[in-house]
Amino acid sequence: MTFLHQYPKAAKVAKANFIVAFIALAIGGLFGFIQALHRTDVFRGFFNSGEYYTLLTGHGVLLALIFTTFFIAGLFVWGVTRSLDREPENMTFTWSWFWLMTIGLIMTAVTILGGLVPDSSIRAAVLYTFYPPLQAHPAFYIGLALVIVASWMAGADWFWSYNKWRKNHPDERIPILTFMALFTMMMWYVCTIGVAVEVVGLLIPWSLGWVTEIEPLLPRTLFWYFGHAVVYFWLLPAYYVWYAILPKLSGGRLFSDAMTRIVFVIFLLLSTPVGYHHQYADPGISVGFKFYAMATTMLLLLPSLMTLFTVVASMEHGARQRGGKGYLKWIGKLPWDSPAFVGCALAGIMFAAGGFSGMINASMNINLLIHNTIWVPGHFHLTVGTAVALTFMAISYWLIPQLTGRKLKFKTLALIQPYAWFLGMTLMSNAMHRAGLAGVPRRTAEPQYSGFEFEPIFGTMAEMDWQIAIGGTILTISLILFLWVITASWMGGEKSDRPVDDYIPEPLSGAEHTPKILDNMKLWFALAIILVLLAYSFPLWEMISDGIFEPGALPRPS
Amino acid sequence: MTENHSNSDSDSRNSSKRLVKILVIVGIGIPVLVELMTLFNLINVQIFDDEEVQEQPEPVAEVRQVTEGDTLFRDYRFPVTIELLRINVSAQEWRFELGLSVPDSVDREPLEIELDSMQLNSGKILAAGRNRSWNIQEGHTPPRIQAEWELPNGDIPGTLYISSFQQMQNDTASRVQQEVPLGNIPVRYNRE
Amino acid sequence: MLIINMPDETSHSTDANSNSTEPAKSWEQRNPEIEREITIDEYQPTGTLTLTLLYFAIVVLMWIFMYFVEFAGNAPSIID
Amino acid sequence: MIVFFIATVVYGFVAMDLKVIGNYETIDPQNLSDTPFGTPGVKEVTKNGATEYEVYVQTLQFAFLPGTSSPITVPADTRITFYITSPDVLHGFDVAGTNLNTMAIPGQISKFTTIFPEAREYGIVCNEYCGPAHHIMEGKIEVVPKSEFDKSNLVE
C-alpha cells in the first residue's frame, strides 16, 4: 500500500499541483538558458535586448513564484494528509483553491508572454519585483492577487484538517509533518499581508487608472515586507524535506524533534521583520530601521545554523548505522548512489555556501559593495535555485512513485542529474559572484558599456561570461534530464503496490522530549505579529503620513 | 537504494560503483577545485600583489564611431552632417530618428541621398523601405532631411548604409556609398 | 506519541493483527543496508561537530577577508 | 559568530566611515524644475570654512543628467556630496568598482558624501531595471587633481 492507494483523493490534488509546477519549471528554465547566453554575449539571436526583460520577468515569476508555490502546495498536501491520516475535508474546496491558483497563474503568464508578441499592448516586463511607476497590464496584478488568495485557501484547508484531527486526538502532539507545514503557512499569512495590501490596495486601482499617481517607495517597501519572508516560504519546505525525509534516505533517523520545532518557531517569528535589508541603498528610510533589520536578519542565522547541525547529525547517524566510522570518513558511507539522497545532500552543501554570500548581503554597509550587482543572483541561485529547487527535484524522485504507484525509470539519468546541477551551478554562481565584485549589474541584457570597462579582481570579463554560459548550459541539460525522468516514470513506469520504501522512522529524540509550549500556535502567531508591528509600523506611518500617494509619480509603461 | 532488492550480478554493481565514483569526481571534485582556485587567486591578488599596477592592454584601435554632429561624405563636394541621432521610446514604440543637413550650395547642383539599409545590434538588417531617398534639386531644397524608423523594441542600430549621388570634382556624377558605424545613440523616453 | 505513517506500517507488517503502535521490528532491523542500529544514548555526532567547526572557521576567515580587504579597500565609499 | 558579524559592521560604520544612506528629504518628482535639480550639475559650497562641492543628478530613462552626455567632473581629495533623484521610474546609481551605490527613487532624494582618493575616470551604471533600454544607461565621473580643477563649468 502506498500513498496513492491510501489517499487517492489527496494524491490526485498533489499530482495536479506537481504537474503545474513542472511545466512552470520547464518554461522558466528555458528562459533562464536563453538569458545566460544573451547577457554573456555568447548568443543573442533568440530575442533582442528589449525582449530580454520579458524573458527575465517570466523566469523570475515562473520559477520563484509559480514553480515554488505549486510544488509546496503539492508537498504539503502529501505531508498533512499522510501525517494526520485524513483525506482533505472537502474536495470541492480543495479543488477550488487549486483552480483559482491556476487561473491566476495563467492570467499572469499571458500578460508576461504578451511582451514577446509584436505590437502587443498586453505587457508586463516589470520583473518579479514589479516596482512602480513601471506599469504592467492590470491582469498581471490581478493574476498575482488570485495566486496569493488561493494559497491562503490552501493553508486554510490544512488548518481545517488539523482542527478536525485535533478533535479526535485532543492530547497528542502535532505530528511533525503537519507542524512544519502549519508553521510555514502561518509565516506565509504574516508576510503576504504586505504584498496583498500593495497589489490590491495600490497597484490594481492604479493599473486600472482609478488613481493616476503612485508613491514609488511605499509599494517597494511593502513588497520587501513580503519579499524576504517569501524566500523562507521557499526554504522552509526544503527544510521540511531535510528534516522529515532526508535522515531516512541517509539510513538514519531525525536527530531531534525538539530542534525541528524550535527552528520553525523562530522562522515564524523573525522571517518578516527583516525586509529593510533589501533597502540598505534606498533613500527615505532611516539608518536606524536598516540597523534593526540587520540585527533580525543576523538572528535568523541561528535557526539555519541549528538546521545545519541537526540535519548533518541525522545524516551522520544514518552513515554510522550503515557502518561509517571516524571524524569525516563516515561521509563516504552515505548513499551517494541514490538520486533523492544526492540531490538533497548537494542542495544542503550549496546552501551552506549561499549562506556566506547571504551574510554579506545582509550586512548593512558591506552590502553596498555588491548591492544590485550580479553577485545577488549568484547568491539566490545557490539558495532558491539550488537549495530549494534541487531539493524539490530530488524529492520528486521519491514522491512521484508514491503518488503515481509507478517505479522510477532511468535511474542512472536520475543519478547524474543532481551531480550535473551541482557542477553547473558552481560554475555559474562562482562567476556571478566574481563579476558582482567587479560591479557588473544584475537585471541587464547587455552588461557592456561604451564609456568604461569593468576591472575584475582577477581573471577577465570574457572568461567569466563563458563560465556563466557553460554553467547555464550544464544546468539546462540537468533540467532536461529531470523532466525526462519524471515524465517517463509518470507515463510509463512499472506499476507496483509499493514502488518505494515510503516509511518514515521516528526521530531519535522524539516529541515526548519536546516542550509543549512549542505547539502553541496562537502564542507564536501573536508574537510574530507584534515583532512585525515593531519593525514596520513607524516607518510605514512615516511614509504614508504625507498621503498614501504622495509624493506621486506618473506611471510608465513597461 | 533501499528499495532495490534486485539480485544484480557483480558486474552491474561494479559498473554502477564506477559511475558513482566518476560522478563524485566530476560533480563534486570540479566545483571544489573551482572554489579553491577562486580563493587562492583572491588572496593572492589582494594581499601579495598589492603594489603591482595592472597594465591595461591597449584597447584595439576601433573603427571611429559616428555620433551627432559628425560629417559624412567629408571628401566630396557635398558633405552631409548628422544633426539628429536618437531613439525615442514611447508607450508601444521604439523609434529611431535621424536628421541630416546638407550645405546650402546644393542649390546649384542636384544631389541625391539614399538610405540603403541598416544593421541592428541584434544582427537584423532593416531594408530602407519607402521614402528613404531624397532628390535635392535646385529651388526646392529642404535644408534638412529627416527620417524615422520603427525598430523592434529594444534593438539599437549599429551600422547605417547611406549613399549619395552627386557631382564629382571632375563634373561627372557618381554614386558613392558609405558605411556609417554608429556610436552612442541617446535613448530617451518620450511622453506623448 | 508521534505517529508517522502508522497505518502504512501496520498494513505492511507481517503480523496483520498487531495493534501495537510500534512495529514488531524496527526499521533498521528490516533494512538490509543497515549494519547496526544506533540509539540516542550511544550516538555521538562527532563528525557533525567537526564539519560545523570547519564551516564556522571558513566563514569567519572569509568574512574578515571580504570586509576588511575587499570592502574597506574599495574606496571611494559613502562617508556621510 | 552572529555578534561578531554585527560588531564588524558597527566598527566599520563608526570607526572606518563606511556608511549607508539614510532618510533625507522628499521632493515632487513631477516638478523638479523649481528645485536645485532643475539646473543639475556641480556646485561649489563652503562648509566649515572649507571648499566642498555638491552634485545634483537626475536619473532618467535612460540617462544620467549630468553624467551621460557630459561627464560629472569633480576634484580629488575633496568632500563631494551627491544629491540624486529621479523624475520617472526607479534607477540605480552605482559607481562601478567602488562602494558608491545607491537607489534613485522618484519622490525621494538620495544624499551621500564621499571623497575620491585619486584622479581617474569612473563609470556610472544604472543597476536597477528601468525599462527596455536599461542596459544602455551609463555615465562617467571624471576625477581630476585638485589643482587642475576647472571651476568654469560649475553651475549656479
Work out the percent of chain A whose per-residue pLDDT is above 70: 100
DSSP letter, residue D96: T
Min CA distance, C65 vs chain A (Å)?
11
Shared domain for C33 and C1, answered yes or no, is yes
Q: How many residues does chain C have?
A: 80
Asked if the C-beta of A523 comes within 8 angstroms of chain D's C-beta atoms, the answer is no
- Which of the four pLDDT bands, split at 50, 70 and 90, describes residue B62? low
Query: Judging by beta carbons within 10 Å of its beta carbon (0-12, 13-18, 19+), is residue D15 exposed, middle or buried?
Result: exposed
A278-310 tens-digit pLDDT: 999 999 898 988 998 899 899 999 999 999 999
D131/B189 Cβ within 8 A: yes
Choose the closest CB to A437 out of C12, C39, C70. Answer: C70
User: Do D71 and D95 contact (CB within 8 A), yes or no?
Assistant: no
Run of H or E residues at B135: strand B133-136
Please state the rounded mean pLDDT for residues A499-505: 88
- Chain C residue numbers touching A320 (CB-CB < 8 A): 38, 43
Asked if the C-beta of B125 comes within 8 angstroms of chain A's C-beta atoms, the answer is no
Choose the closest CB to C55 out of A248, A327, A352. Answer: A352
Q: What are A184's three cell numbers?
A: 510555514
C31/B46 Cβ within 8 A: no
- β-pair partners for B119: B125, B159
Min CA distance, D17 vs chain A (Å)?
10
D60/B187 Cβ within 8 A: no
- On the question of pLDDT at A433 being above 60, the answer is yes
Compute how many other C-beta atoms are within 10 angstroms of the C-beta atom of residue A484: 15
User: Which amino acid does the sequence have at C32?
Assistant: P
Q: A376, A412, A391, A541: which is closest to A488 by C-alpha?
A: A412
- On the question of pLDDT at C15 being above 70, the answer is no
User: Which amino acid does the sequence have at C77?
Assistant: S
B23/A118 Cβ within 8 A: no
Among all chains, which residue has been given the C-alpha cell 581629495?
D77
Q: Which residues, 6+ apart, have CB-to-CB distance to B124 below 8 Å?
A: A48, B152, B155
Question: What's the number of domains chain C is made of?
Answer: 2
Strand-pair category, D50-60 with D63-65: antiparallel
- On the question of pLDDT at B91 being above 80, the answer is no
Nearest CA in chain C to B43: C65
Tell me how many degrees the CA angle C18-C24-C30 measures, rounded to the nearest 5: 135
Nearest CA in chain B to C62: B39
CATH fold label, A3-545: Cytochrome C Oxidase; Chain A (1.20.210)
B11-18: long-range contacts, CB 8 A cutoff, minimum separation 24: B16/A337, B16/A412, B17/A337
Question: Which domain covers residue C56, as residue numbers?
Answer: 44-80
Q: A95, A78, A96: which is closest to A87 by C-alpha?
A: A78
- On the question of pLDDT at B105 being above 80, the answer is no
Nearest CA in chain A to D89: A133
User: Which amino acid does the sequence have at A391?
Assistant: T
A109-135 tens-digit pLDDT: 999 999 888 778 888 989 999 998 999
pLDDT at B109: 65
SS3 content of chain D, % helix, strand, coil (to 5): 15, 40, 45
User: Do A175 and A182 contact (CB within 8 A), yes or no?
Assistant: no
Run of H or E residues at A533: helix A521-544
Please state the rounded mean pLDDT for residues C48-55: 94
More confident residue, D112 or A458: D112
- Chain C residue numbers touching D98 (CB-CB < 8 A): 74-77
- On the question of pLDDT at C27 being above 70, the answer is yes
pLDDT at C3: 40
- Chain B residue numbers touching D63 (CB-CB < 8 A): 186-188
Portion 56-115 of B in contact with C at CB < 8 A: none
User: Do A49 and A446 contact (CB within 8 A), yes or no?
Assistant: yes
Q: Which residues, 6+ apart, have CB-to-CB distance to C57 below 8 Å?
A: none
**How far is residue B111 from each of residues B78, B134, B162, C23, D94, measured CA to CA in Å?**
8, 8, 13, 99, 48
Choose the closest CB to C31 out of B2, B43, B47. Answer: B2
C73/B46 Cβ within 8 A: yes
Dihedral, CA atoms, A523, A528, A533, A539, nearest 10 degrees? 170
- On the question of pLDDT at C18 being above 50, the answer is no
A312-339 tens-digit pLDDT: 999 999 999 998 888 999 999 999 999 9
A355-392 tens-digit pLDDT: 999 999 999 889 999 999 999 999 999 999 999 999 99
Helix axes A389-404, A461-492, angle to 10 degrees: 10
Choose the closest CB to B47 out of C32, C33, C69. Answer: C69
Asked if the C-beta of D55 comes within 8 angstroms of chain B's C-beta atoms, the answer is no
Q: Which residues, 6+ apart, have CB-to-CB distance to D107 below 8 Å?
A: A215, A216, A217, A284, A550, A551, A552, A553, D26, D27, D28, D29, D85
Portion 94-133 of D in contact with B at CB < 8 A: 131-133
pLDDT at D37: 92
Query: In whole numbers, what is the pLDDT of chain D averaged over residues?
Result: 90
The counts of H helices and E strands in chain D are 1, 10
Picking from D3, D13, D16 by the largest number of C CB atoms within 10 A of its own CB, the best residue to mutate is D16
Q: Which residues, 6+ apart, have CB-to-CB distance to C75 below 8 Å?
A: D98, D99, D117
Strand-pair category, B157-167 with B173-181: antiparallel
- On the question of pLDDT at A547 being above 80, the answer is no
Please state the rounded mean pLDDT for residues A515-540: 91
Q: What are C17's three cell numbers?
A: 493483527
Asked if the C-beta of C31 comes within 8 angstroms of chain B's C-beta atoms, the answer is yes
B189/D61 Cβ within 8 A: yes
Alpha helices in chain B (DSSP H): 10-24, 30-43
pLDDT at A80: 96
A42-93 tens-digit pLDDT: 988 888 888 899 999 999 999 999 999 999 999 999 999 999 999 999 999 9
D129/A444 Cβ within 8 A: yes
Q: What are B118's three cell numbers?
A: 541598416
Q: What are A319's three cell numbers?
A: 552513515
- Chain C residue numbers touching B47 (CB-CB < 8 A): 69
User: Do A299 and D2 contact (CB within 8 A), yes or no?
Assistant: yes
What region, left, alpha or beta, does residue A20 occupy, with left being phi > 0 and alpha being psi -120 to 50 degrees?
alpha
- Which of the four pLDDT bands, split at 50, 70 and 90, describes residue A160? very high
- On the question of pLDDT at C75 being above 70, the answer is yes
Q: Where are the domains of chain A?
A: 3-545
Please state the rounded mean pLDDT for residues B96-100: 84
C80/D100 Cβ within 8 A: no
Shared domain for C27 and C48, answered yes or no, is no
- Which of the four pLDDT bands, split at 50, 70 and 90, describes residue B189? confident
A3-48 tens-digit pLDDT: 999 999 999 999 999 999 999 999 999 999 999 999 998 988 888 8
Min CA distance, A254 vs chain C (Å)?
10
Q: Which residues, 6+ apart, have CB-to-CB distance to A167 below 8 Å?
A: none
Query: In whole numbers, what is the pLDDT of chain A averaged over residues?
Result: 93
Choose the closest CB to D16 out of C60, C63, C72. Answer: C72
Choose the closest CB to B46 out of C32, C33, C69. Answer: C69
User: Do A148 and A107 contact (CB within 8 A), yes or no?
Assistant: no
A337/B121 Cβ within 8 A: no
Please state the rounded mean pLDDT for residues C42-60: 92
Choose the closest CB to A506 out of C2, C11, C67. Answer: C2
Each residue's pLDDT tens digit in chain D (156 positions)?
A: 788 888 888 888 888 888 888 888 889 988 888 899 998 999 999 988 889 999 999 998 888 988 888 899 999 999 999 999 999 899 999 999 999 999 999 999 999 999 999 999 999 999 999 988 898 899 999 999 999 998 888 887
User: Do A134 and A556 contact (CB within 8 A), yes or no?
Assistant: yes
Q: A195, A557, A532, A63: which is closest to B91 by C-alpha?
A: A557
CATH fold label, D23-149: Immunoglobulin-like (2.60.40)
User: Do D113 and C78 contact (CB within 8 A), yes or no?
Assistant: yes
Rounded Cα–Cα distance for residues B23 and B15 (Å): 12
Q: What are A113's three cell numbers?
A: 508572454
User: Do A17 and A73 contact (CB within 8 A), yes or no?
Assistant: yes
- On the question of pLDDT at A141 being above 50, the answer is yes
pLDDT at C48: 94
Shared domain for C32 and C54, answered yes or no, is no
User: Do A45 and A123 contact (CB within 8 A), yes or no?
Assistant: no
Shared domain for C77 and C64, answered yes or no, is yes
More confident residue, B60 or B81: B81
CATH architecture assigned to B71-189: Sandwich (2.60)
Asked if the C-beta of C45 comes within 8 angstroms of chain B's C-beta atoms, the answer is no
B34/A501 Cβ within 8 A: no
Active site residues of A: 228, 232, 379-381, 442-443
DSSP letter, residue A520: -
Q: Where are the domains of chain B?
A: 9-55, 71-189
Pick from A209-218, A295-304, A457-466, C21-30: least confident: C21-30
C75/D12 Cβ within 8 A: no
Nearest CA in chain A to B154: A50
B47/C73 Cβ within 8 A: no
Q: End-to-end distance of chain C based on CA atoms, in angstroms?
A: 59
Q: B136, B68, B74, B83: which is closest to B105 by C-alpha?
A: B136
Shared domain for C17 and C51, answered yes or no, is no
